[in-house]
């Protein structure tokens, strides 16, 4: 049976994106489990020790400084892993390197409960290894988009795959909240995530092919759709990456700057929202899990709808669409983010609403700076998106550092104002900068004859 006669032959790119998305979600979920289990771990008295006052204290009750290093270890691992992972992707494709990253994440996650009870520094090492594995995520998004996405579906591909952050937070926080309060205890959240991850990455290794033209699973119709309007340079398997020209492009730097400050807001939300909801707003553990999961899920429909609009809307030029979507994604996120700390704790549902609007604005970014990076860098978009991962690593340092600078007591709302206000203001500035720099045109160093993307205007 030929690919043209098989039911999946005309939609194999959809299967690739779905499996890739689930694997991206798995790796992200593995490293963020601890954000929620911090709440549960301190109540685990199975290995309690006496403190300086002689009162029994859980060995899992970490101080703010210890939590900071637990979070920073992932960031450090991701920063160090981003460049070598990208080199591996360029040389070998995504199939095996991403599979290896998945196995690394699975093993380190399964060992976290043991390490937490055995030695703090071994826990830090495993968190660092989780960071190394996580560094594979954004390069995978870039390569899947470059190889499998038609130019007219760029924003949709990016929107679906970058939804892994919200989906992983929603699934992990809700599942972990239930497991923490069950007879199983918090450790089983790690074991469950590791088991699911093993299944998903085995599926990845079976399904994914680095080049659509190299497999009979893809029909002629599907291949034609994927390759439409792409230059020979774009489709060339052996193209070397012009790192020097890419790293000196003002457009690419503006993309990365917008990404960094927006990522900072996302990191603060995903990392500290459980703590803020529990300590400042006074929600219980189960309620915290529910509201955090809701906030991190409700923005996803916005993300998908906005991506389709970005790809299919023809009444506005491509650059104008980019600026419009980026204004919402970065400028709108900054505006809502800046006011969160000013909302009194007794108006806790208004705070939930502000967090929700912040994340909904984030959901529009696939039609903003992401799309600008892809259309400008074309076949080298995986490098640009991998570097966005690197900016996220920096944000994993800067966000906890900003919290440590302003917040000494997590339950005091007014101490959080500076965190939200600083990042919110910086997002306004970077969004304004994009109006002067963003373009939908391919860079000269892509060596491609420009062909119009459907729906764009000169």
Q: What is the pLDDT of residues 21-79, one digit of tens each?
A: 999 999 999 988 887 777 777 665 566 565 666 666 666 677 777 888 888 898 889 88
DSSP state, 5?
Answer: T
Same-domain pairing of 222 and 271: no
Cα(305)–Cα(168) distance, rounded to whole angstroms?
Answer: 19
Same-domain pairing of 190 and 329: no
Question: Is 456 inside any structural domain?
Answer: no
Same-domain pairing of 358 and 291: yes
The pLDDT of residue 403 is above 90? no
Nearest residue to 342 via CA among 400, 288, 280, 403: 280
Question: Is 455 inside any structural domain?
Answer: no
Question: Is 161 inside any structural domain?
Answer: yes
Cα(56)–Cα(53) distance, rounded to whole angstroms?
Answer: 9
Same-domain pairing of 351 and 439: yes
What does the pLDDT read at residue 452? 44
Mean pLDDT within 250-276: 89
Segments in 363-380 forming alpha helices (H): 369-377
Cβ neighbours of residue 357 closer than 8 Å, sequence gap 6 or more? 332, 336
The pLDDT of residue 201 is above 90? yes
Cβ neighbours of residue 278 closer than 8 Å, sequence gap 6 or more? 39, 284, 285, 288
Query: How many domains in the chain?
Result: 2
Of 200, 228, 256, the residue at which a domain comes to its end is 228
DSSP, collapsed to helix, strand or coil, labels residue 424 as helix
Cα(13)–Cα(212) distance, rounded to whole angstroms?
Answer: 8
| 134-143, 175-184, 325-334: range with lowest mean pLDDT | 175-184
DSSP, collapsed to helix, strand or coil, labels residue 94 as coil
Question: Is 154 inside any structural domain?
Answer: yes
The pLDDT of residue 241 is above 90? no
Cα(10)–Cα(365) distance, rounded to whole angstroms?
Answer: 28
Higher pLDDT, 214 or 234: 214
Q: What is the CATH number of the domain that holds 39?
A: 1.20.1250.20
What does the pLDDT read at residue 163? 82
> Considering Cα of 442, then 443, then 444, then 448, what sign does the dihedral take?
negative
Instruction: Write the pLDDT tens digit of every residue in 356-366.
Output: 999 899 888 88
What does the pLDDT read at residue 457? 40
What does the pLDDT read at residue 341? 86
Torsion of CA 432, 437, 442, 445, to 10 degrees: -140
Return the half-sphere exposure (C-beta side, CA atoms, 13 A cut-off) of residue 431.
25
Chain centre distance of CA 455:
28
The pLDDT of residue 228 is above 90? no
Same-domain pairing of 6 and 155: yes
The pLDDT of residue 185 is above 90? no
Nearest residue to 258 via CA among 308, 319, 317, 333: 333
Environment class of residue 151 by beta-carbon count within 10 Å: exposed (0-12), middle (13-18) or buried (19+)? buried
Q: Contact at 8 Å (CB) between 364 and 166?
A: no
Question: Is 330 inside any structural domain?
Answer: yes
Same-domain pairing of 78 and 223: yes
Question: Is 458 inside any structural domain?
Answer: no
CA distances from 144 to 53, 162, 300, 303, 340 (A): 56, 12, 20, 19, 36
Instruction: Write the pLDDT tens digit of every residue in 145-167.
Output: 888 888 778 888 888 888 887 78
Of 228, 262, 296, the residue at which a domain comes to its end is 228
The pLDDT of residue 212 is above 90? no
What pTM did the predictor assign?
A: 0.73
Mean pLDDT within 6-22: 83
Mean pLDDT within 382-396: 79
Cα(310)–Cα(434) distance, rounded to whole angstroms?
Answer: 17
Q: State what percent of residues in the chain have pLDDT above 90.
A: 31
Residue 450: band (very low, low, confident or very high) from pLDDT cuts 50, 70, 90: very low
What does the pLDDT read at residue 448? 52
Same-domain pairing of 216 and 249: no
Averaged pLDDT score across all residues of the chain: 83
Same-domain pairing of 206 and 256: no
Nearest residue to 135 via CA among 435, 393, 398: 393
Q: State what percent of residues in the chain have pLDDT above 70.
A: 89
The pLDDT of residue 132 is above 90? yes
> DSSP letter string over 255-271?
HHHHHHHHHHHHHHHHH
Most confident of 56-70, 223-237, 311-325: 311-325
Same-domain pairing of 9 and 131: yes
DSSP, collapsed to helix, strand or coil, labels residue 57 as strand
**Between helices 12-41 and 64-92, what is the axis angle to 10°?**
160
DSSP, collapsed to helix, strand or coil, labels residue 183 as coil
Residue 235: band (very low, low, confident or very high) from pLDDT cuts 50, 70, 90: low
Same-domain pairing of 217 and 314: no
Question: Is 399 inside any structural domain?
Answer: yes
Question: Is 452 inside any structural domain?
Answer: no
Of 170, 200, 228, the residue at which a domain comes to its end is 228
Environment class of residue 238 by beta-carbon count within 10 Å: exposed (0-12), middle (13-18) or buried (19+)? exposed
Domain residues for 4? 1-44+59-228
Q: Contact at 8 Å (CB) between 381 and 369?
A: no
| 328-332, 338-342, 388-392: range with lowest mean pLDDT | 388-392
The pLDDT of residue 422 is above 70? yes
Same-domain pairing of 182 and 115: yes
Cβ neighbours of residue 379 closer than 8 Å, sequence gap 6 or more? 146, 233, 234, 235, 236, 239, 446, 448
Same-domain pairing of 213 and 270: no
What does the pLDDT read at residue 35? 79
């Amino acid at each position: 049976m030929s690919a043209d006669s098989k039911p999946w032959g005309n939609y194999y790119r959809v299967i690739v994106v779905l499996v890739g998305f689930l694997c991206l979600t798995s790796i992200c979920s593995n490293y963020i489990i601890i954000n929620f289990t911090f709440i549960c771990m301190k109540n685990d008295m199975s290995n309690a020790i006496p403190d300086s006052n002689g009162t029994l204290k859980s060995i899992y009750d970490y101080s703010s400084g210890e939590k900071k290093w637990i979070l920073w270890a992932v960031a450090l691992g991701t920063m160090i892993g981003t460049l070598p992972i990208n080199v591996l992707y360029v040389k070998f494709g995504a199939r095996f390197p991403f599979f290896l990253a998945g196995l690394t994440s699975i093993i380190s996650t399964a060992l976290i409960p043991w390490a937490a009870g055995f030695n703090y520094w071994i826990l830090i090492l495993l968190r660092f290894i989780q960071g190394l594995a996580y560094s594979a995520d954004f390069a995978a998004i870039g390569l899947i988009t470059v190889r499998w996405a038609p130019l007219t579906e760029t924003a949709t591909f990016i929107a679906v795959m970058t939804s892994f952050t919200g989906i992983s937070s929603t699934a992990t926080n809700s599942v972990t909240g239930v497991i923490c309060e069950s007879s199983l205890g918090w450790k089983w959240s790690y074991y469950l995530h590791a088991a699911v991850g093993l299944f998903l990455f085995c599926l990845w290794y079976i399904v994914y092919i680095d080049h659509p033209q190299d497999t009979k699973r893809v029909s002629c119709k599907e291949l034609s759709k994927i390759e439409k309007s792409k230059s020979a340079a774009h489709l060339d398997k052996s193209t070397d990456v012009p790192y020097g020209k890419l790293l000196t492009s003002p457009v690419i730097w503006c993309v990365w700057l917008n990404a960094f400050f927006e990522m900072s807001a996302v990191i603060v939300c995903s990392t500290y929202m459980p703590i803020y909801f529990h300590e400042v707003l006074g929600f219980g553990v189960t309620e915290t899990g529910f509201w955090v999961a809701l906030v991190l899920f409700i923005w996803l429909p916005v993300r998908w709808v906005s991506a389709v609009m970005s790809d299919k809307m023809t009444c506005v030029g491509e650059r104008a669409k980019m600026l419009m979507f980026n204004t919402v994604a970065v400028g709108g996120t900054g505006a809502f983010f800046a006011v969160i700390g000013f909302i009194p704790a007794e108006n806790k549902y208004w705070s939930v609403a502000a967090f929700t609007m912040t994340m909904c604005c984030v959901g529009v970014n696939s039609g903003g700076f992401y799309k600008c990076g892809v259309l400008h860098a074309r076949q080298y978009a995986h490098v640009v998106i991998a570097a966005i991962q690197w900016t996220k690593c920096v944000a994993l340092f800067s966000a906890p550092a900003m919290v440590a600078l302003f917040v000494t007591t997590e339950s005091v709302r007014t101490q959080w104002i500076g965190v939200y206000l600083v990042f919110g203001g910086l997002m306004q500035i970077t969004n304004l900068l994009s109006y002067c720099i963003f373009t939908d045109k391919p860079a000269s160093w892509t060596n491609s004859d420009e062909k119009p993307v459907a729906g764009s205007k000169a």
